[in-house]
């Protein structure tokens, strides 16, 4: 919603066919793939191209749910009364639904889309906020266990999932665990379905809630911000822009939305139950809303609970909203390592806007970002890159000139990370003015057609295919071969497989690039875009023993994509990516790369893991019983050992301990905790907890995720702005974490010793 570890991987998933009440679509993937135990197609990997859909704003496949039974017609934008969305009042529902997405699967498939991210699927508030605003976006949760009736019933959701999977397209759902609805409007409420005598939610044969107790309703009030008897919500007020404290972001309300108390074990259990409910429907991933505003200890346990449930790990990425530069950058870049949830790559987005959009930074700056983030992000190819989305202005509104617009899109599709395309980008949707809300247009009325002939559509199609076929784009490292203010030539490489991209952002000014040293063999290399962006053939010759790309001229807006894609064979195993990168012993782990078939041995450090299956491009294995902390995964085949890929092994089911300490400090000092378990840094101050929060100074507190039931020792420390560390005196303190059932526990308020 609006914000008012390292080497790479490969996909390996074979599509199933599903029988659905829609036209029959078929899919012939280039790589053998296998459905996971839950019926999911498999986690999203850097081989994929994601397409983000605001469900209500894409396509209306079923006009009968435009005004669902029991809802007000005032929620629907239909001024002329024809039963269809007008696309004029973007604060109201327009009619897009799951059947509409199903109808456009051939369009998505033809574009090369291999994963879709859709809006929150569950029920949101139905009333108008301030008499004008609906929850079409899905960020005002009301009942996590019922579908949003404007999008369809549960059988429609399942049909969408099945149709996507039958066509080799993965399904990611948006999910909100930070808040419910706007509390000033009385929407800070949660409902749940009726239960049976055993306390289980009751659903009909189609998976929809039923009236089990005969009271005429299918739901019951669970929590109310204004009568919060179970402490479901924080009650710290709305965060003003002036409050940039960690406590303000995590405990105060985002845009007056009722903020969940993620330190409350009851709340944690409920949200985990809701997420696992949707995972059981066969989804392939979660996009987590507002991760900047969430308690990382909760996020770590939440992600672990989802992935440890039936079906194995799924993809997780979230909205940690930053600008560029931003004082929260260090917190942002380490969030995936601390929680296991990857970032939507706002650093990439901001750099793209500056280089290709308003030209406030040059291409050298953009190239520097690619290198610095490749170093800063442990798993840089798992970061989800984008040039625009629902929370920012459409890029077309910032850059209306086709040439830099297309150059930006081609660069997105070839850069490190996993690319995400905002719906309608391929049709140049442009509100002409306004910010993120203005860009949430109804594609069915805003675009003349779902055209497959636009240049943007063809760029995505061609480069999505290249991303699937050449592992250099999915798993490769990044290096800069040449750059000026307007030109960037960069290389992606995975064990000799290479893609070289040459970009000129200036629409009307040509630039000459000198001969460049290369490790590509002597020969000619055609443009993978087929000249779509004016690209030409590259010539590689040997000059005095050094292979060189001959000097070439880039015309205005020209983009060249040259691919060298030799077979790596099947003898030597090479790891490209691992999903997930964090989990407990006993969890499933997917290892992607090349040469992974046959008799292989997977090790976490020196401990052998059980292998469930192995193809040339994917191994499914089980995390062995091994010491908690960072372990190196390797694959051995015969005498050949792969490169290592880092994985964080958890000590068990994660629960929260909220540490409290009274300590007076001076400016520049912060309190931390260090202790005897990996989650507390194994007594290494450099690996201690993050800094504590102190809204009631001199009391400090911090939730930390630790293994359930574990007994550990710890001490509080102080670090100053120069990095000096001061330990408290006395004996080590001891604490026992709560059980998994309890979920959270507070320590006493200790006094510094």
Q: Is 452 designated active site?
A: no
Find out whether 355 and 365 touch, Cβ atoms under 8 Å: yes
**DSSP helix/strand/coil, 421:** strand
- 8 A C-beta contact, residue 667 and residue 638: no
Looking at residue 625, what DSSP letter applies?
Answer: S
In this structure, the number of other CB atoms found within 10 A of the CB of residue 128 comes to 16
Strands 418-422 and 50-53: parallel
Distance of CA 431 to the CA centre of its chain: 26
Q: Assign residue 686 a region (left: φ > 0; alpha: ψ between -120 and 50; beta: otherwise).
A: alpha
**CA-based end-to-end distance of the chain:** 44
Distance CA 320, CA 349 (A): 12
Answer positive or negative: Cα dihedral of 259, 260, 261, 263.
negative
Asked if 610 and 624 touch (Cβ cutoff 8 Å), the reply is: yes
- Give ∠ CA 402-389-244 in degrees, rounded to 5: 125
Selected catalytic residue, list 284, 319, 347, 380: 319
- Candidates 216, 107, 96, 202; CA nearest to 156 is 96
Q: Are the C-beta atoms of 619 and 634 separated by less than 8 Å? A: no
CA dihedral 705, 707, 709, 714 (to 10 degrees): -70
Note whether 595 and 570 are within 8 A (CB).
Answer: yes
Residue 108 DSSP class:
H
- Active-site pick, 289, 304, 309, 391: 289
Q: How far apart are CA 419 and CA 389, in angstroms?
A: 12
Residue 319 a catalytic site member: yes
Query: For residue 330, what are the contacts with CB-CB under 8 A and spacing of at least 6?
Result: none
254, 293 in Cβ contact below 8 A?
A: yes
Q: Which of 671, 649, 669 is nearest to 722 (CA)?
A: 669
Beta bridge mates, 175: 288
**Region for 7 from its dihedrals, namely left if φ exceeds 0, alpha if ψ lies in -120 to 50, beta otherwise:** left
Cα–Cα distance, 427 to 448 (Å, whole number): 9
**Strand 733-736 to strand 546-549: parallel, antiparallel, or no bridges (unpaired)?**
unpaired
- Name the residues annotated as catalytic: 289, 319
């Amino acid at each position: 919603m609006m914000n008012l570890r390292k080497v790479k991987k490969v996909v390996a998933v074979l599509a199933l066919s599903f029988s659905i009440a829609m036209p029959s679509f078929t899919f012939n993937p280039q790589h053998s793939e296998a459905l996971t135990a839950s019926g999911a197609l498999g986690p999203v990997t850097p081989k994929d191209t994601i397409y983000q859909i605001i469900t209500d704003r894409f396509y209306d496949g079923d006009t009968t749910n435009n005004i669902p039974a029991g809802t007000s017609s005032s929620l629907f934008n239909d001024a002329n009364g024809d039963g269809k969305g007008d696309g004029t009042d973007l604060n109201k529902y327009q009619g897009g639904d799951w059947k509409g997405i199903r109808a456009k699967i051939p369009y998505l498939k033809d574009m090369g889309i291999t994963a879709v991210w859709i809006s929150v699927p569950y029920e949101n508030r139905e009333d108008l906020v301030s008499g004008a605003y609906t929850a079409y976006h899905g960020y005002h949760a009301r009942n996590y266990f019922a579908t949003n009736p404007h999008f369809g019933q549960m059988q429609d959701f399942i049909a969408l999932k099945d149709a996507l999977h039958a066509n080799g397209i993965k399904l990611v759902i948006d999910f909100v665990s930070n808040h419910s609805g706007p509390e000033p409007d009385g929407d800070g409420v949660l409902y749940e379905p009726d239960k049976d005598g055993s306390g289980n939610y009751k659903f009909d044969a189609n998976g929809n809630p039923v009236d089990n107790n005969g009271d005429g309703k299918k739901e019951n009030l669970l929590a109310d911000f204004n009568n919060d008897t179970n402490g479901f919500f924080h009650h710290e007020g709305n965060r003003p822009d002036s409050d940039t404290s960690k406590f303000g972001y995590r405990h105060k309300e985002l845009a007056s939305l009722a903020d969940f108390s993620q330190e409350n074990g009851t709340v944690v259990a409920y949200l985990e139950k809701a997420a696992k409910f949707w995972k059981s429907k066969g989804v392939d991933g979660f996009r987590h809303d507002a991760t900047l505003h969430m308690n990382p200890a909760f996020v770590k346990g939440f992600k672990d609970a989802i992935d440890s449930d039936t079906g194995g790990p799924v993809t997780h990425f979230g909205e940690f909203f930053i600008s560029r530069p931003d004082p929260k950058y260090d917190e942002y870049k380490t969030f995936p390592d601390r929680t296991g949830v990857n970032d939507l790559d706002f650093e990439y987005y901001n750099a793209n806007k500056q280089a290709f959009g308003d030209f406030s930074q040059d291409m050298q700056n953009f190239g520097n970002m690619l290198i610095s983030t490749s170093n800063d992000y442990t798993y840089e190819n798992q970061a989800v890159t984008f040039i625009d989305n629902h929370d920012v202005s459409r890029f077309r509104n910032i850059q209306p000139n086709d040439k830099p617009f297309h150059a930006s899109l081609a660069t997105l599709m070839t850069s490190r990370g996993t690319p995400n395309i905002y719906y309608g980008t391929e049709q140049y949707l442009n509100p002409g003015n306004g910010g993120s809300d203005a860009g949430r247009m109804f594609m069915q009325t805003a675009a003349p057609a779902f055209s497959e002939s636009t240049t943007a559509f063809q760029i995505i199609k061609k480069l999505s295919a290249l991303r699937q076929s050449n592992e250099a784009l999915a798993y490769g490292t990044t290096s800069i071969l040449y750059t000026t203010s307007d030109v960037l030539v960069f290389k992606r490489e995975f064990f000799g497989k290479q893609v070289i991209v040459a970009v000129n952002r200036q629409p009307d000014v040509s630039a000459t690039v000198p001969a460049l040293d290369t490790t590509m063999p002597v020969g000619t290399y055609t443009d993978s875009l087929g000249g779509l962006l004016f690209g030409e053939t590259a010539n590689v010759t040997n000059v005095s023993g050094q292979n060189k790309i001959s000097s070439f001229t880039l015309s205005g807006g020209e983009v060249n994509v040259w691919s060298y894609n030799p077979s790596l064979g099947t003898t030597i195993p090479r790891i490209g990516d691992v999903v997930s990168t964090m989990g407990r012993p006993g969890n499933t782990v997917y290892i992607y790369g090349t040469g992974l078939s046959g008799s292989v041995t997977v090790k976490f450090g020196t401990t052998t893991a059980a292998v469930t299956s192995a193809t040339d491009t994917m191994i499914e294995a089980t995390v062995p019983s091994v010491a908690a902390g960072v372990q190196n995964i390797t694959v051995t085949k015969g005498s050949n050992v792969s490169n290592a890929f880092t994985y964080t092994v958890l000590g068990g089911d994660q629960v929260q301990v909220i540490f409290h300490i009274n300590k007076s400090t001076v400016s520049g000092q912060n309190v931390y905790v260090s202790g005897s378990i990996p989650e507390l840094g194994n007594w290494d101050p450099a690996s201690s907890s993050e800094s504590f929060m102190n809204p009631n100074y001199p009391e400090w507190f911090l939730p930390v995720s630790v293994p359930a039931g574990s007994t550990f020792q710890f001490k509080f420390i102080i670090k100053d702005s120069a990095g000096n560390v001061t330990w408290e005196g006395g004996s080590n303190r001891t604490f026992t974490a709560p059980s998994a059932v309890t979920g959270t526990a507070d320590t006493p308020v200790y006094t510094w010793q």
